[in-house]
């Protein structure tokens, strides 16, 4: 296959959704019907191909994003199945960073749930074209039109209905294809592998024509050629219509909506066609842009197999102690045994092996090129978010941003002799997961592990026991607070000392001022001193950055503060980088003391689904937890309460919610912001 053809026939897609919308079930069906696997694994039986970790199979949820690929209609599709639980957001974040398209899966009963909103907006941030698949139409309470309305209102997109359900709930039979104007029915006896196009049943013809009209109107709005034909009542050919929908989807103007019931084996083959017809190939999206190291220049790298090599390491995994790095190749080609350059760390690394992944199974390959998603062995130093490229044509791609942990617990090994083993295991886990961190507290000597939520830390402790054979005792979960300041303060700090017989002297005049919540820290240089060098600025920046990691109230990290360097003081031959770094660090601490420091706590946004009769008990429980109720909406027989609550008050909430609602309420939560404690 010619190089350009290979790229045109490649799709890199992710499957994103709220927990329990059916992502893994859809992926299993895709693999089965495309001939990639010969047996469908079910999540509820703990046999799903993509949920290969013990912890995933036991809990019936996806924890780590798994990569696989399949062939359909002469196209090669790379698929990443991502977790739906908020604690594993980094898995979604790093997957979306390297994908060209995504399928958002929505439950026909639950509709757009909180985590589907989060991942959808993450995909929008990365400008990833999307198609929506409304799943579980066979379930009691399924409402297709309601879900499409929610997609429109909550996600702020223009949904384009390409299929209608044929029947609903227990009478769900198949789908009506509005592009071909045909019905599709699946054969029960072939597990849905056989399907046929039939005439639309008479009772649905009128509804189908009305929706077809809406479809043409919406597409005509985005495409001049279709608009011309539509206004002059000319026949619009199917290939023309598909091409117009594809263009609008790639430009992020529309989201095609398909539907089905994955567990009942209905709707998957047209979804595969939709991936090929409407989602982009690596050539259809704008080229990735990176900066040329040690210059201010930027360079675009189009998807070209013959171009200079560039790739992004988006995930690191440890497999039986060996490091496996997942790469998305953006341009050029890389071969087994070849050398690659890591410009961020300024080192060369050798690729020992290249692997094509199918969940946790692998197949050795000799080379990989633009558009491929593969794994590499032998990269010792490369970590998540690093760029790899050729040394002759270096480029630095934007790294992957990981959110900071919001909850920590103290752990200790059950056996004293396992102490070093525990630290070694924790080190390995931090390499894999950028949202997991651990420190040894200077004062208490305790080992504190931090993560994105209770489930996240529970899984870590489980993995310590299973993979690393380290059993631990845990303390109670603690919330990770932050500190900030509330007023601007100017401060001059002079550092003058004799160390090891040598005199050191440096002075800085800085101003610290509060920033809006969520902006982060900034360092600004407004100093015109003739002796201020680039090295001195770096040393001052480093000193301030170190001081920001532990605030003046309780030693928590300082956020949302701007530090402005106004002036420096120097003495010839006594002022070096170390002196500036210490002066800056001390100056920042003293300035924060004066700037009315404030303790901030993490606030989470919770969405609670409550049957009408338990509303009173649930609301009074939320009030007792200092929750602020934002709004209450009705969703059929249940009420949906959206509230913001301090994370510290949410420990054990699931047990409490079950007991006040006789086990009939569910909730989901995600980090919202930091606020005054």
Dig out the tokens for 638 from the structure: 């249940």
Cα 627 to Cα 641: distance, rounded to the nearest angstrom? 11
Cα 520 to Cα 450: distance, rounded to the nearest angstrom: 20
* Distance, CA of 359 to CA of 27 (rounded, Å): 11
Q: Which two tokens stand for residue 543?
A: 């000193």
Q: How far apart are CA 305 and CA 20, in angstroms?
A: 38
User: In which region does residue 192 sit, left (phi positive, over 0), alpha (psi from -120 to 50) or beta (all else)?
Assistant: left
pLDDT score of 245: 95
Write the DSSP symbol of residue 333. E
Q: Are 494 and 584 in contact (CB under 8 A)?
A: no
Strands 130-135 and 255-259: parallel
Distances, alpha carbon 457 to alpha carbons 137, 199, 450, 516, 594, in Å: 35, 53, 7, 30, 37
Whether residue 381 contacts residue 342, with contact meaning beta carbons closer than 8 Å, is answered with: yes
Closest listed residue to residue 24, CA positions, set 47, 4, 1, 55:
47
For the whole model, what pTM was predicted? 0.70
Residue 533, pLDDT score: 85
DSSP state of 261: B
How high is the pLDDT of residue 612?
84
DSSP code string of 512-546: EEE--TTS--EEEE----TT--HHHHHHHHHHHHH
Report yes or no: 176 and 164 within 8 Å, Cβ to Cβ.
Answer: yes
How far apart are the C-alpha atoms of 557 and 559, rounded to whole Å? 6
pLDDT at 52: 44
Q: What share of the chain is helix, strand, coil (3-state, %, to 5)?
A: 30, 35, 35
pLDDT along the chain (677 residues), means of 10: 76 83 84 77 51 52 71 90 66 80 91 76 84 92 92 88 92 93 89 89 93 94 90 90 95 94 91 95 91 88 91 84 87 92 91 83 87 90 90 89 76 88 89 84 75 81 86 80 91 87 88 89 88 87 91 87 90 82 93 91 84 88 90 78 87 76 71 82
CB atoms within 10 A of CB 232: 7
Six-digit token pair at 559? 């956020």
**Rg from Cα positions in the chain:** 28
Residue 81 confidence (pLDDT): 75
Nearest to 23 by CA among 47, 46, 50: 50
d(CA 258, CA 178): 10
Please report the pLDDT score of residue 51 as a whole number: 47
Sequence-distant (≥ 6) Cβ neighbours of residue 126 within 8 angstroms: 96, 97, 99
Taking Cα atoms as reference points, which of 435, 486, 446, 511 lies closest to residue 596? 486
Are the beta carbons of 570 and 505 closer than 8 angstroms? yes
Residue 4, CA atoms < 13 Å, CB-side half-sphere: 1
Please answer whether residues 423 and 446 qualify as being in contact, where contact means their C-beta atoms are separated by less than 8 angstroms: no
What does the block give as tokens for 56? 């995933």
Judge whether 595 and 485 are in contact, CB under 8 Å: yes
Beta-bridge partners for 255? 159
CA-nearest of 43, 5, 46, 3 to 24 is 43
Report d(CA 232, CA 655) in Å as an integer. Answer: 62
DSSP β-bridge partners for residue 153: none
- The β-bridge relationship of strands 159-161 and 130-135 is unpaired
Phi, psi dihedral angles at 665 (to 5 degrees): -105, 150
The residues facing 266 across adjacent strands are 261
Residue length of the chain: 677
How many Cα atoms within 13 Å fall on the side-chain side of residue 459?
23
Specify burial of residue 662 (Cβ count, 10 A radius: 0-12, 13-18, 19+).
exposed
DSSP 341-380: EETTTTEEEE--EEEEEETTEEEEESEEETT-EEEEE--S
Is 64 exposed, middle or buried, given 0-12, 13-18 or 19+ CB atoms closer than 10 A?
A: buried
Nearest to 552 by CA among 491, 616, 500, 483: 483
Q: How far is CA 140 from the centre of its chain?
A: 31
């Amino acid at each position: 296959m010619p190089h350009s053809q290979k790229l045109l026939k490649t799709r890199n897609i992710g499957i994103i959704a709220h927990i329990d919308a059916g992502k893994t079930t859809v992926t299993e069906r895709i693999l089965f019907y495309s001939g990639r696997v010969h047996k469908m694994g079910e999540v509820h039986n703990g046999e799903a191909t993509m949920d290969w970790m013990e912890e995933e199979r036991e809990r019936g949820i996806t924890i780590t994003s798994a990569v696989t690929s399949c062939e359909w209609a002469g196209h090669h599709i790379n698929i990443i199945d991502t977790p739906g639980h908020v604690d594993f957001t980094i898995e979604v974040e790093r997957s979306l960073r390297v994908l060209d398209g995504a399928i958002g899966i929505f439950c026909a009963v639950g509709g757009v749930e909180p985590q589907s909103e989060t991942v959808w907006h993450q995909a929008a941030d990365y400008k990833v074209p999307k198609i929506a698949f409304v799943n579980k139409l066979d379930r009691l309470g399924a409402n297709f039109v309601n879900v499409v309305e929610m997609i429109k209102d909550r996600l702020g997109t223009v949904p384009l209905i390409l299929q209608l359900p044929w029947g609903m709930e227990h009478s769900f039979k198949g789908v009506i294809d509005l592009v071909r104007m045909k019905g599709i029915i699946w054969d029960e006896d072939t597990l849905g592998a056989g399907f046929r196009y039939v005439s639309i049943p008479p009772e649905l013809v009128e509804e189908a024509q009305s929706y077809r009209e809406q479809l043409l109107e919406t597409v005509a709005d985005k495409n001049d050629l279709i608009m011309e034909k539509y206004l002059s009542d000319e026949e619009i050919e199917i290939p023309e219509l598909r091409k117009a929908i594809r263009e609008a989807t790639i430009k992020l103007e529309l989201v095609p909506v398909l539907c089905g019931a994955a567990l009942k084996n209905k709707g998957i083959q047209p979804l595969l066609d939709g991936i090929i017809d409407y989602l982009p190939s690596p050539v259809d999206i704008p080229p990735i842009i990176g900066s040329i190291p040690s210059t201010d220049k930027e360079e675009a790298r189009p998807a070209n197999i013959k171009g200079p090599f560039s790739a992004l390491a988006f995930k690191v995994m440890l497999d039986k102690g060996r490091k496996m790095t997942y790469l998305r190749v953006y341009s050029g080609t890389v071969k087994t045994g070849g050398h690659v350059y890591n410009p961020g760390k300024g080192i060369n690394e050798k690729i020992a092996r290249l692997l094509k992944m199918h969940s946790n199974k692998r197949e050795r390959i000799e080379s990989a090129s633009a558009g491929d998603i593969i794994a590499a062995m032998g990269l010792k130093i490369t970590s998540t978010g690093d760029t790899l490229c050729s040394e002759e044509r270096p480029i630095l791609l934007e790294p992957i941003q990981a959110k900071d942990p919001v909850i920590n617990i103290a752990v200790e090994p059950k056996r004293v002799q396992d102490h070093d083993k525990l630290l070694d295991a924790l080190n390995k886990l931090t390499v894999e997961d950028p949202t997991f961190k651990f420190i040894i507290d200077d004062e208490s000597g305790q080992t504190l592990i931090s993560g994105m939520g209770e489930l996240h830390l529970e899984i870590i402790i489980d993995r310590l026991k299973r993979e690393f054979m380290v059993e631990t005792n845990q303390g109670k979960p603690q919330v990770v607070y932050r500190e900030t300041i509330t007023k601007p303060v100017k401060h001059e700090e002079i550092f003058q000392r004799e160390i090891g017989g040598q005199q050191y002297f440096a002075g800085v005049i800085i101003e610290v001022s509060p920033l809006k919540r969520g902006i982060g820290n900034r360092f600004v240089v407004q100093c015109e001193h003739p002796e201020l060098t680039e090295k001195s600025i770096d040393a001052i920046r480093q000193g301030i950055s170190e001081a920001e990691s532990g605030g003046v109230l309780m030693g928590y990290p300082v956020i949302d503060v701007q530090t402005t360097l106004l002036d420096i003081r120097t003495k010839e031959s006594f002022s070096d980088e170390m002196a500036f770094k210490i002066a800056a660090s001390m100056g920042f601490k003293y300035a924060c003391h004066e700037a009315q420091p404030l303790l901030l706590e993490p606030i989470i946004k919770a969405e609670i689904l409550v049957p009408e009769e338990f509303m009173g008990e649930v609301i009074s429980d939320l009030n007792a937890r200092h929750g602020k109720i934002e709004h209450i909406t009705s969703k059929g027989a249940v009420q949906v309460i959206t509230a913001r609550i301090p994370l510290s008050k949410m420990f054990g909430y699931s047990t409490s919610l079950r007991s006040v609602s006789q086990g009939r309420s569910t909730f989901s939560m995600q980090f919202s912001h930091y606020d005054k404690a």
